[in-house]
């Protein structure tokens, strides 16, 4: 079980770092992913920079979970 959790944490860290890289790229250059610019929805989506910022925060939280920064302390 400990090996499985270690693998999940490694995958979380790798996915979080890759997500942060892609989100940073999309934040700096919103035209980098034109297929994501206009999804077909009834309401207008937020700007690409807002979406990139949300993905960056989510990816940061995923990487922090994988590193163990979001785990609570052991209660006595």
pLDDT tens string 40-64? 667 776 777 888 888 899 999 999 9
In a domain, 73, yes or no: no
pLDDT of residue 41: 66
CB 24 within 8 A of CB 56: yes
Show the tokens assigned to 9.
């944490």
In a domain, 7, yes or no: yes
Q: Rounded to two decimals, what is the model's pTM?
A: 0.75
pLDDT of residue 35: 64
In a domain, 24, yes or no: yes
What is the number of domains present in the chain? 1
What is the residue range of 18's domain? 2-33+45-67
CB 16 within 8 A of CB 62: yes
In a domain, 39, yes or no: no
pLDDT of residue 70: 78
- Look up tokens 């077909």; give the residue: 40
pLDDT of residue 31: 78
32, pLDDT greater than 70 = yes
């Amino acid at each position: 079980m400990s090996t499985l959790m270690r693998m999940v944490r490694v995958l979380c860290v790798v996915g979080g770092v890759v997500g942060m890289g892609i989100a940073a790229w999309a934040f700096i250059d919103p035209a980098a992913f034109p297929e994501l610019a206009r999804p077909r929805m009834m309401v207008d989506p937020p700007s690409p920079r807002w979406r990139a910022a949300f993905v960056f925060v989510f990816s940061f939280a995923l990487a922090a979970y994988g590193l163990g920064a979001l785990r609570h302390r052991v209660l006595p």
